[in-house]
Amino acid sequence: MNGTNLCEVCNEREHTRLCDYATGTGIITSVDFKELTETCNKKICTACAVQLWDDCDICPDHAEQVKKKLFRE
């Protein structure tokens, strides 16, 4: 298996998802003036991904950040 296809968290399994955690916003397209959101895009496998809701998976690092924000740890 090619190393570029491995999960960036465990480095053992093939990645099947990208982290959806928003890292930036504010880019507006010039054609239809839609806002684009930048995401982490860390390569993650199903086992390492943390699913927030349908079609929204984040890496464990960002899951920890979300947990701290929600529970004010």
Q: What tens digit of pLDDT does each residue of 25-73 get?
A: 766 767 777 777 889 999 999 999 999 989 999 999 999 999 998 887 5
Structural domain count of the chain:
1
Per-residue HEC secondary structure of the chain comes to CCHHHECCCCCCCECCEECCCEEEEEEECCCCCCEEEEECCCEECCCCCEEEECCEEECHHHHHHHHHHHHCC
The per-residue pLDDT for 1 is 47
Average pLDDT over residues 3-28: 90
For the full predicted model, state whether its pTM sits above 0.95: no
Question: Which structural domain range is residue 15 located in?
Answer: 3-71
> What's the pLDDT tens digit per position in 16-36?
999 999 988 766 767 777 777
